[in-house]
Structure 1
Amino acid sequence: MPLTGTRPDKPAASEQPPQKVRKAFDAVPDRVRHKWYALRALILQTAEATPGVGPLTETLKWGEPSYAAASGTPVRLGWKPAEPDTIKLLVHCQTSLVDDWRERYGEMFRFEGTRALLLDVNAPLPDAQLSHCIAMALTYKRR
């Protein structure tokens, strides 16, 4: 479902997710849900602030919230009970994004292969660095 905001080509961070996406948020523990909503807001704000990012689509991929723009590769939020303290910011594994992020932010973040940036559910989000990573994903096809 395309998101619309004050500008027709950009999402408004205050909009609620579509019902099926909201169900995915509701299916995770409270502390994960709160962090996912913070990440969702950061993704929407980053999309709005990043030149060249067109309309953003919010949907489910593999049962997890996914955010896609034609200008880039989708960003997906992940969490599994087997790793209860880890939230994943996932991208397509055939991009160079995780390698690029590892090169820039290897001291700050943990990573999983070529598909995920790992976040501690109990730690504050480093918004500036995450926003940069998200912008890189949302504009990946333009580079």
Structure 2
Amino acid sequence: MTRPFADTQVEGVFDAFDDTARPGLMGLRDLILDTAASDNRVGEVTEALRWGQPAYLTPVTKSGTTLRIAPHKSASFALYVHCQTTLMSDYTAEFPGRDRIDGKRAVLFGDPSEIDPMRHGWLISRALTYHL
């Protein structure tokens, strides 16, 4: 279910994404918002722009670390986590060899069909509750 945008600037960035990246980025957006809504520890998620990219923050509960989604130079689109966390190493230990990874910072996607709600939802949930 696609939710409306609360921030017109964020919506404008999504509108500007090319047709190859936008469907996957919308899929990741939905997964982030659905994952947050399913965990009462997360609280309200704010969608904002960080470095010109859609970012997802937990400003009320401060339960999580920032997630970002955007096109990537080596893939159609990517899910970014803060590189100074253990999130990506935890993820690759839990799901070894399952995804293309960009160092400590991103899961890379070539197509929306590669989004796995269970596996990528696990990473999103860990990011949204990282500080708990």
By the TM > 0.5 criterion, same fold?
yes
Q: Residues 136 and 122 of structure 1: is their aligned pair in 2 closer, same or farther, counting only changes over 3 Å?
A: closer
State the secondary structure of the residue aligned to 1:60.
strand
Corresponding position of 1:54? 43
1:66-117 deviations in Å (ceiling 9; x for gaps)? 001110101100214x43x431111111100000011111221121111111
SS of 2:104's equivalent in the other structure is: coil
Query: Matches of 1:19 and 1:124 in 2, distance apart?
Result: 28
One of 63, 79, 82 as aligned partner of 2:71: 79
Match of 1:107 in 2: 97
Unaligned runs of 5+ in 1: 1-11
Instruction: Verify the 8 A CA contact 1:110 1:118 in the aligned structure 2.
Output: yes
Q: Does the CA-based 8 Å contact 1:73-1:139 persist in structure 2?
A: yes
For structure 2, list consecutive stretches of 5 or more residues without a partner in the other structure. Answer: none
**SS of alignment partner, residue 72 of structure 1:** coil
CA contact (8 A) 2:23 2:112 kept: no
How far residue 128 of structure 1 moved from its aligned partner, in angstroms, is 1.1
Query: How many Å apart are 1:48 and its aligned residue?
Result: 0.5
| TM-score between both structures, scaled by the size of structure 1 | 0.82
Count of residue pairs brought into register by the alignment: 129
**Identity among equivalent pairs (%):** 34
Please state if 1:40 is matched with 2:29.
yes
Structure 1 moving runs of 4+ over 4 Å = none
Aligned ranges for residues 83-98 of structure 1 at < 5 Å? 83=74, 85-98=75-88
Take 2:37 and 2:89, find their aligned partners in 1: how far apart are those partners? 25
**Residues 67 and 19 (structure 1 numbering): CA distance in 2 closer, same or farther, change over 3 Å?**
same
Structure 1 residues 55 and 73, CA, compared in 2 at 3 Å: closer, same or farther?
A: same
Residue type of the partner of 1:89? L
Q: Does 2:21 correspond to 1:29? A: no
